[in-house]
Amino acid sequence: MSITNDEVKKIAHLARLALSTDETNAFASQLENIFKLVTVIQNTHTDGIRPMSHPFDAKQRLRKDMVTESNERDIMQKIAPATELGLYLVPQVIE
């Protein structure tokens, strides 16, 4: 697929980009290369190939499910302006 400089200018206008003539030519070339790559990828034979969930055979290391922090709610709520039944009370901001 070939892309013209006029098409690049239209795309640049939609993206609110100001491109010089040299930049327009460069982007046209780069976009054409991208379209060629997409065509190659689309024409790749993938029948019978299972999709991979991850490209590497990596295993996730899991940590032990242990409590590492102590419950300091009572200490923190002592310095809070307003609490009730273990909850922090805040002023209403939406009517």
Rounded average pLDDT over 70-91: 93
Q: How many CB atoms lie within 10 A of CB 3?
A: 16
> CB under 8 Å to 3, separation ≥6 — which residues?
28, 31, 32, 35
Task: Report pLDDT for 72.
Answer: 92
Rounded average pLDDT over 6-28: 93
Residue 43 DSSP label: T
What does the alpha-carbon distance between residue 88 and residue 74 come to, in Å, rounded to a whole number? 11
Q: What is the pTM of this model?
A: 0.49
What is the per-residue pLDDT across 33-69, written as a single tens digit (0 to 9) for each? 999 999 999 999 988 888 877 777 777 788 888 989 9
Domains of the chain, each with CATH number or no CATH: 5-42 (1.10.20)
